[in-house]
Amino acid sequence: MTKIIEHLEDVTIRFAGDSGDGMQLVGTQFSETSGFAGNEVNTFPDYPSEIRAPEGTLYGVSAFQVHFGTHNIHTLGDYIDVLVAMNASSLKVNKANLKDGGIIIANTEGFDARNLSLAGYTANPLEDGSLQNYTVYAINIGKEVKAELAELNIPTKIASKTKNIFALGLTYWLFNRPLEPTVNWITSKFKGKEDVITANVHVLQAGWNYAEKNDSFTKQYIVDKSPLAPGRYRTLSGNQGVALGLVVAARKANLPLFLGSYPITPATEILQAISGFKKYGVKHLQAEDEIAGICSAIGAAFGGSLAATTTSGPGLSLKTEAMGLAVMTELPLVIIDVQRAGPSTGLPTKPEQSDLLMAMFGRHGEAPMPVLAAASASDCFAMTLEAARIALKYMTPVLLLSDGYIGQASEPWRIPKISELPDIQPEFATDIEEFGPYRRDPKTLRRMWAVPGFQGMEHRIGGLEKEDISGNVSHDAANHEKMVGLRQQKVDGIANDIPEAVVDGPSQGDTLLISWGSTYGAAKTACEKLRAKGMTISFLHLRYLNPFPRNLGQILNSFQRVIVPELNSGQLQWLLQAKYLKPITGIHKVQGRPFKSAELEQKISEILTEKEVIA
C-alpha cells in the first residue's frame, strides 16, 4: 500500500508511561535524533518525585515531551500532536492536552482490567468510542516484541524492557527519523552486553517495520531541516550547559576549577557532568550537605580557583549563611540555583521561578550580590560564562538562576570557537609594597586577590567585618557603614559593565511584555502570534536582575502598560514596581509547569481588550 506523505512545520510528541517504562530514555533519543536530522528541538522531561511511584497509577505517570520543527522552536509545545501511551493512566493524564485529530499510539497491554481501574476508567477508552476524534493505533507491544525476539534466545527479562524501544521505532517511521543514531547509542551504551544490544536493535527495527508494513499506518510525516547557522551542533541541556560553561570559563581564565556541591533535584546533573571532566584538571567534591558544598567552594576561591556550587531551592536556603561569608570575604564564587516548586520539599521535579526574592535578599545583613538568569538550555552556557566573568572581575559571589524546565530540557547548540567567547582575566595581587587585602581598584571597587602562601601578603579571612584596606577585624561603627556602602556600590557599578536592555519592537508605545528566565520562549512566541494578528506589542527579556540594565527605567517609562509573566506570585513584578515606581501588570502561574504560549497569548489579549473597553 502506498503511504501518504505530509509535510509539517512543527510537531509535539509526548512519550508517557510508568516511571519504569523508559519514557525519559526514548524521549531523549527522539530529541537527539531530531537534532541530528537538522530540526530545532525543545524538550520537557516531566516525571513524578517518587523514585518508583506505584505502577499504573495516575500520579506515577512519567513523560517526556519533544517539540521539534523547521524554525522558531522556543517552547515545549502547547498541545500534543502525538501521544505514546504505554498504559491507561498515561492516556488519562495527558488526553486533555492532545489536539483534536491528534495521534494516539497505545500499548494495549497497559489497558487491562487492573490498569483501567487504577486510571479510573469504567470502560476501555480504546473500545468505547470515546477516542473517535483521534487517530488511534492500538498495538500489543509486548506481543510484537516477543514475536520479534522469539528465535534469538533473548532472556525474557531483557526482552520485557524493550517495549519502549519498539514504540520509539514506530515514531521514527511516523516522522521519517533515521535509526542510525539510536543504534550507535545502544551499541555504545551497552558495550559488552551482546544480548541487550541485539534485543534493542532488533526491536527498534521491528517498530519501524511494523508501521511500514501495517495498512493502518497510512500517513508518514516529514519535518524539513531547520535553516540553522553553519557550524557544529550538539544537543545540550541547561544543566550540561552550566557544567560546560564552568569548565570553559576556568580554561579562559587559566584557573583551576572546583565545584563543591550536594546532590539535589533538579541540579544534580551539573555535578554529574562536572565529574566527567577530571582529565582537564577539574576538581569536584560531592559534599555531605549543602553547607559543606558551598564552604568548600569558598575555600577553593580563597586558594585561587574559579569556584562554584550548585543547588536548588531548599539547598539555597541552607547555603544562605555561607553566601554571606562569601560577600564579607569578597571572594569570586559562582552559585547556581536550578529552581523548583516549593516551599519546603514542594514539588521537587517541577519548575518554578519562586527563588528570585531569596536570591535578591535571602541573607541576613546587608549582603548585596549580582543575580543573573538564563533564558534557555543553551543560554545556560553563555550566562554561566558571564557569571564567572563578573565574579572574577569584581571579586564577588554571583548567583545564576535556572530552573527545572530549562535545566533538564535540551535543544540544539552551536558549539562556539574559543576565540568567539569573551575574555576572562582574573587579577592577583603581585606588589607586596602596594598590597592591602581590601585596597580597591578605583574603577571596579574589587579588592585585591592574594593567593595564600605568598610572604608579605598574609591577611585575615572570615566572617567578621573587615577594616577598610588592611582587612583586619574591625568593630568600628563608621568603618562598618563604609564597608557596607562599598560592597553595594561595587554591585551597583556592574550595571555599567553589562549590555543595555534591548526592546524587540517599537521602543515606545502602548504595551511592553517583559520576561525573565524560562518564560522567555513562551513569552516571545506569544508576542509573535499577537503581532501576526495585528496587535502592536513590544518585547523585552531580562537576563540581568541585580543590577538591572542601566536603561531599564527609561524603557519602562516609554510604555503605558508593562506586563510581566512569571512562574511565581509576582516577584519580578514586585521588584520593578518597588524600584521604578511604575505599575506593572503580572501574569502568574504556580502549578509546577511552564507557561504555554497559547495561554499567555490569551491572557495578554484579555488584558489589552480590558484596557480598550475601559478607555
Alpha-carbon gap, residue 345 to 339, rounded angstroms:
12
Question: Which pLDDT band holds residue 611 (cuts at 50, 70, 90)?
Answer: low
Q: List every span in the chain annotated with CATH 3.40.920.10.
A: 4-222
Question: What is the per-residue pLDDT across 500-516, written as a single tens digit (0 to 9) for each?
Answer: 999 999 999 999 999 99
- Is residue 488 within 8 A of residue 453, CB to CB? The reply is no
Q: Could you give the CA distance from residue 17 to residue 61 in angstroms, rounded to a whole number?
A: 5
Percentage of residues in the chain having pLDDT higher than 90: 93
Asked whether the predicted pLDDT for residue 589 surpasses 50, the reply is: yes
Fold classified for 4-222: Pyruvate-ferredoxin Oxidoreductase; domain 3 (3.40.920)
- What pTM does this model have? 0.94
* Pick among 2.60.120.620, 3.40.50.11540, 2.50.20.10, 3.40.50.970: CATH of 234-420: 3.40.50.970
Separation between Cα atoms, residue 187 and residue 200, nearest integer Å: 9
Q: Residue 615: which pLDDT band, with cuts at 50, 70 and 90?
A: very low
Residue intervals of the chain classified under CATH 3.40.50.920 are 509-614
Q: Is 96 exposed, middle or buried (0-12, 13-18, 19+ CB in 10 A)?
A: exposed
Asked whether 203 and 168 are in contact (CB, 8 A), the reply is: no
The CA-atom distances, in angstroms, between 444 and each of 141, 489, 494, 614 are: 64, 9, 8, 49
Average pLDDT over residues 422-431: 94
Which residues of the chain are in CATH 3.40.50.970 domains? 234-420
Q: Tell whether the model's pLDDT for residue 613 goes beyond 60.
A: no
Give me the pLDDT at residue 229, please. 85
CATH 3.40.50.920 fits 509-614, yes or no: yes
Mean pLDDT of all residues in 93-98: 97
Residue 458 Rama label (left phi>0; alpha psi -120 to 50; beta)? beta
The string of pLDDT tens digits covering residues 35-70 is: 999 999 999 999 998 877 889 999 999 999 999 999
Angle at 464 between CA 469 and CA 453, to 5 degrees: 60
